[in-house]
Amino acid sequence: MQLLLDNNRAWAERVEREHPGFFKRLSDQQSPKYLWIGCSDSRVPANQVIGLAPGEVFVHRNVANVVTHSDLNALSVIQFAVDVLKVEHIMVVGHYGCGGVLAVLHEKRVGLADNWLRHVHDVKMRHRGRLMHLCSHEQEDVLCEMNVIEQVGNVAQSNVVQDAWARGQPLAVHGWCYGLKDGMVKDLGVTMAHPGEVVDVFRAAIKRYPRAPDAKPGSSDLPL
């Protein structure tokens, strides 16, 4: 642990040397434009991935970047970010090779987290007709992306975001997926910036994943 404290001291001194007054300015006010909702995975650090300094991105992370309508932790973060900080963009950021998503896909037991990951399991079941005919490697990538798209829909339908849109506050919700192997973020093209486009954008995003050729239309996908 001492190494970490030594690292911290060296980092603080370096930042202050390179940007005199940095911490004083930051301690007075934070005004991030972005809320990052990502996975807890240690390989996906929000600030570094998008090249932002402390104070520039508000962050919420949990296993497999899930946003449910009853998670008061995530909803409180969204509410504070939107109502108090007035962020203009919320990005839900999944990542390929996500341990939570892979556990769901390959039906591996994790423990208590299995209950949390049921939300990802729901995504898998809802879109199984677009998923299960793929090879294992493709399923992994597609379920990571579909999970992001579902969570973007959940964020957009939250009362916090709906209320912000209703009062004309500029706010867009985005879905991204991060590649551990190359450090690149893929925009999943599911940006929602007003309530009238939520369902259409969601459906268009899901339709990019073709069903199995022999699947009956509408047999597996539940409406939003």
Pick out the residues of the known binding site for Zn(2+): 39, 41, 95, 98
CA distances to 48, 49, 55, 126, 204 from 17, rounded to whole Å, are: 20, 23, 18, 53, 49
Q: Is 173 in the site for Zn ion (CB under 5 A)?
A: no
Q: Is 39 in the site for Zn ion (CB under 5 A)?
A: yes
Contacts of 34 (CB under 8 A, 6+ apart): 50, 52, 56, 57, 58, 87, 88, 89, 90, 91
CB of 101 to Zn ion, least distance (A): 7
Q: Widest CA span of the chain, in angstroms?
A: 64
CA 161/CA 87 separation, integer angstroms: 11
Q: Which of residues 81-110 bind Zn ion (CB under 5 A)?
A: 98
Q: Is 145 in the site for Zn ion (CB under 5 A)?
A: no
CA 49/CA 58 separation, integer angstroms: 14
Six-digit token pair at 173? 């919700």
CB of 105 to Zn ion, least distance (A): 12
Six-digit token pair at 16? 């202050």
- Catalytic residue among 60, 89, 95, 126, which? 95
Q: Is 49 in the site for Zn ion (CB under 5 A)?
A: no
Reply yes or no on whether 144 is catalytic. Answer: no
Q: Is 74 in the site for Zn ion (CB under 5 A)?
A: no
Reply yes or no on whether 133 is catalytic. Answer: no
CA 73/CA 133 separation, integer angstroms: 36
Strand order in the sheet with 185-187: 57-62, 34-39, 89-95, 172-178, 185-187
Nearer to Zn ion, 98 or 105 (CB): 98
CB of 102 to Zn ion, least distance (A): 9
Reply yes or no on whether 177 is catalytic. Answer: no
- Catalytic residue among 98, 128, 174, 177, which? 98
- Catalytic residue among 39, 126, 144, 211, which? 39
The footprint of Zn ion on this chain (CB under 5 A) covers a number of residues equal to 3
Reply yes or no on whether 127 is catalytic. Answer: no
Q: Is 41 in the site for Zn ion (CB under 5 A)?
A: yes
Scanning the structure block, which residue is given the tokens 């459906």?
A: 203
Nearer to Zn ion, 60 or 211 (CB): 60
CB of 47 to Zn ion, least distance (A): 17
Binding-site members are 39, 41, 95, 98
- Catalytic residue among 9, 14, 25, 43, which? 43
- Give the 3-state secondary structure of residue 73: helix
Active site (catalytic) residues: 39, 41, 43, 95, 98
Question: Which residues lie near Zn ion (CB under 5 A)?
Answer: 39, 41, 98
